[in-house]
């Protein structure tokens, strides 16, 4: 159901407050012509109500010649900020950037964060923002699981559909998303509620089975048949199934880059207000479909780049694939069983 402009502004005021915005802070609103104008206006109004020093940075849209579709996650690395040092400096000058156009996976974003500037991405429809309005409790539950993930040295994932995947951990950091940016240099995304890390290089091994009803992003498709991925030494080496497997093979082949087959971040969803079914109620260009990435108890794995945590795979193709009904073990301790969060107790939803 539609969210009013007044309600959207109130929600932004709440999230910016959680992000420690007050009269001592400067807030930059990053936008382009395709940004949701209601989101831009609400972010600006909320920052003013909190007495922050607020300004806008507007950039032209950018479309790489090899990009397909309008989804903002379908081509990574180059953005409208690439090579625009003046705009980058304007963003670095802010305490917080509200990103309504998406810099994710770009080196410019990483450089901005290194200055201590915080970034909050907000590109989902207002109704999705409302349903998953972040809270301190979201942060508490995500951080409880982060403590386990930081200590873990091995992950093992199984499912009734046939997944049997394992990898070593520890080479790369654990990353959390809970919906607000409250620490210097923090990037977050409203809405969200999950955590992830990356496998140690060349250790991801086994089989991942996309079952009927699982989701492939940025295609924004529910699988209608099973797709089996064979994984060896950190890379997908086989894609088996029917038409949907063929479609996935051809899509990856299009980029002519062996690094698109690398296993990127892996983790699980902790947001009970995110819904597996929500994608079916939106048009494909409505947003990024954060419901799919964050829904409670999913196993989310991705393919492609890992440069944002110091890796060497700089590739434009990035898939996010959340699976339902999985068992996830960290160092032989079950954290998710059959798609339900079981440990630690502090991470379980009421």
Residues 6 or more apart whose CB falls under 8 angstroms from that of 332 comprise 154, 156
Q: What is the mean pLDDT of residues 307-315?
A: 86
Say how far apart CA 153 and CA 167 lie, in whole Å.
Answer: 9
Q: What CATH code is carried by the domain that includes residue 77?
A: 3.40.50.2300
pLDDT digits (tens, 9 = 90+) for 23-40: 999 999 999 999 999 999
pLDDT score recorded for residue 167: 98
Same domain for 34 and 157, yes or no, is no
Q: Which domain holds residue 75?
A: 5-123
Say how far apart CA 281 and CA 277 lie, in whole Å.
Answer: 8
Same domain for 115 and 218, yes or no, is no
Q: Domain tally for the chain?
A: 2
Same domain for 204 and 298, yes or no, is yes
Q: In the numeric block, which tokens belong to residue 83? A: 């090579």
Spatial strand order in the sheet of 96-99: 53-58, 26-31, 96-99, 118-121, 187-189
Same domain for 169 and 34, yes or no, is no
Q: What radius of gyration do the chain's Cα atoms show?
A: 19
Same domain for 194 and 115, yes or no, is no
pLDDT digits (tens, 9 = 90+) for 193-214: 999 999 999 999 999 999 999 9
Under DSSP, the state recorded for 217 is B
pLDDT digits (tens, 9 = 90+) for 38-69: 999 999 999 999 999 999 999 998 888 888 87
Same domain for 167 and 114, yes or no, is no
Same domain for 160 and 203, yes or no, is yes
Q: Which of 245, 208, 30 is nearest to 117 (CA)?
A: 30
Same domain for 137 and 92, yes or no, is no
Q: What is the mean pLDDT of residues 234-244?
A: 98
Same domain for 146 and 75, yes or no, is no
Max avg pLDDT among 68-77, 106-115, 198-207, 304-313? 198-207
Same domain for 152 and 116, yes or no, is no
Say how far apart CA 314 and CA 223 lie, in whole Å.
Answer: 28
Query: Residue 312: which pLDDT band, with cuts at 50, 70 and 90?
Result: confident
Same domain for 313 and 333, yes or no, is yes
Per-residue pLDDT for 75 more than 90? no
Residue 95 phi/psi, 5-degree rounding, is -75, -35
Same domain for 93 and 163, yes or no, is no
Dmax (CA) for the chain in angstroms is 57
Q: What is the mean pLDDT of residues 272-298?
A: 95
* pTM of the entire predicted model: 0.96
Where helices occur in the chain by DSSP H, the ranges are 5-18, 37-49, 85-92, 107-114, 126-131, 136-151, 243-254, 290-294
The helices-and-strands tally (H runs, E runs) of the chain is 8, 20
Residue 19 phi/psi, 5-degree rounding, is -85, 15
Pairing of strands 263-269, 194-197: antiparallel
The number of C-alpha atoms within 13 Å of 114 and in the hemisphere containing its C-beta is 10
């Amino acid at each position: 159901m539609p969210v009013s402009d007044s309600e959207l502004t109130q929600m932004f005021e709440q999230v910016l407050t959680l992000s420690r915005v007050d009269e001592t802070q400067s807030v930059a609103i990053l936008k382009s012509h395709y940004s949701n104008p209601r989101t831009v206006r609400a972010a600006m109004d909320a920052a003013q109500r909190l007495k922050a020093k607020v300004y806008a940075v507007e950039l032209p849209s950018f479309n790489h010649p090899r990009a397909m579709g309008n989804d903002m996650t379908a081509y990574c690395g180059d953005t409208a900020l690439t090579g625009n040092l003046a705009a980058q400096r304007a963003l670095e000058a802010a305490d917080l950037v509200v990103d309504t156009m998406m810099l994710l996976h770009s080196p410019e974003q990483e450089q901005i964060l290194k200055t201590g500037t915080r970034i909050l991405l907000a590109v989902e429809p207002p109704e999705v923002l409302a349903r998953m309005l972040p809270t301190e409790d979201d942060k508490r539950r995500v951080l409880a699981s982060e403590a386990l993930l930081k200590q873990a040295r091995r992950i093992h994932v199984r499912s009734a559909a046939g997944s049997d995947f394992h990898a070593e951990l520890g080479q790369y950091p654990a990353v959390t998303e809970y919906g607000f940016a409250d620490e210097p240099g923090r990037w977050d995304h409203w809405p969200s509620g999950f955590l992830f890390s990356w496998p140690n290089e060349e250790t991801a091994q086994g089989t991942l089975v996309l079952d009927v009803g699982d989701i492939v992003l940025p295609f924004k498709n529910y699988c209608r048949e099973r797709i089996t991925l064979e994984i060896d030494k950190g890379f997908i080496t086989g894609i088996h199934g029917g038409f949907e497997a063929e479609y996935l093979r051809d899509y990856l082949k299009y980029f002519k880059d062996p690094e698109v087959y690398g296993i990127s971040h892996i983790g699980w969803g902790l947001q009970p207000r995110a819904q597996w079914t929500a994608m079916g109620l939106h048009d494909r260009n409505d947003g990024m479909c954060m419901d799919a990435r964050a829904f409670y108890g999913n196993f989310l794995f991705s393919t492609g780049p890992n440069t944002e945590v110091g890796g060497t795979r700089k590739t434009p193709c990035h898939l996010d694939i959340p699976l339902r009904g999985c068992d996830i073990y960290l160092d032989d301790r079950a954290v998710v069983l059959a798609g339900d969060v079981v440990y630690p107790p502090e991470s379980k939803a009421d």
